[in-house]
Amino acid sequence: MDVVCFRLPGHSDAALRNMNTLREQRHFCDITIVAGGRQMFRGHKVVLAAGSAFLRDQFLLNPSAELQQVSVLHSSTVIRELLQSCYTGILQFSAKEIVNYLTAASYLQMEHVVEKCRVALSQYLQTKSCSSGSVKTEESQAMPSIVSGSTRSLDSMSPPSERASSLQPHSSEEEPQVSGVEHAGGQRRDEANLSG
């Protein structure tokens, strides 16, 4: 028997983009996340569970709950941005906040974000150590470095071609993208400024 199989390019991106639009319009939202007792994030359990093992386990333990409290130890802004990234695949914040995002992502068991934050933290610390008078080695010159004072965009995918709310799947193979990154050979790669 002959089988016809179609691969629909962009299907997963379009599906998440549509789910985010539904979330923004508050359609079909079945969970409210409260962080720090004040910040509320309405969303869809299935999307948030796919992005956070911690939330998946919480939803499985209490499937009828419509309200989920997240530890007050984490900034409500950090939690909101991490949850938003489940829909968009985009996470942008100041390099000085890397540890806060790393800690909160670890708490939420968002391993793909944790790994990106670890790499970005390593780059940030290396840049700080190089700018404090250390001599650059050949190995450190080959690594991307964070340029002081630039906007940092820590994506887990290629830069979006559309506006900041465009969706791209995250890939564990790609390095976090940092705006204004200098690469070996002096080539500069600029990322889209993703204000949102």
Q: Which one has a higher pLDDT value, 184 or 40?
A: 40
**At a CB cut-off of 8 Å and minimum separation 6, what does 177 contact?**
153, 154, 155, 158, 159, 191
Q: Which one has a higher pLDDT value, 19 or 188?
A: 19
Q: How is residue 137 annotated by DSSP?
A: P
- Over 60: is that where the pLDDT of 180 sits? no
Average pLDDT, the chain: 74
**At a CB cut-off of 8 Å and minimum separation 6, what does 76 contact?**
35, 36, 38, 39
Local confidence band at 64 (pLDDT 50, 70, 90 cut-offs) = confident
pLDDT at residue 148, rounded to an integer: 37
Return the minimum-mean-pLDDT range out of 6-20, 98-112, 117-131.
117-131
One DSSP character per residue, 74-92 reads S-HHHHHHHHHHHHHS--B
Per the CB < 8 A criterion, the answer to whether 180 and 188 are in contact is yes
> pLDDT digits over 16-62, tens only?
999 999 999 999 999 988 887 777 899 999 999 999 999 999 999 98
pLDDT at residue 66, rounded to an integer: 79
- Over 60: is that where the pLDDT of 116 sits? yes
> pLDDT digits over 122-169, tens only?
999 988 888 765 444 444 433 333 333 333 333 333 333 333 333 334
89: which 2 tokens?
């695949």
Question: What's the Rg (C-alpha) of the chain?
Answer: 19
Single-letter amino acid code for the residue at 30: D
Per the CB < 8 A criterion, the answer to whether 93 and 152 are in contact is yes
Local confidence band at 78 (pLDDT 50, 70, 90 cut-offs) = very high
- Over 90: is that where the pLDDT of 183 sits? no
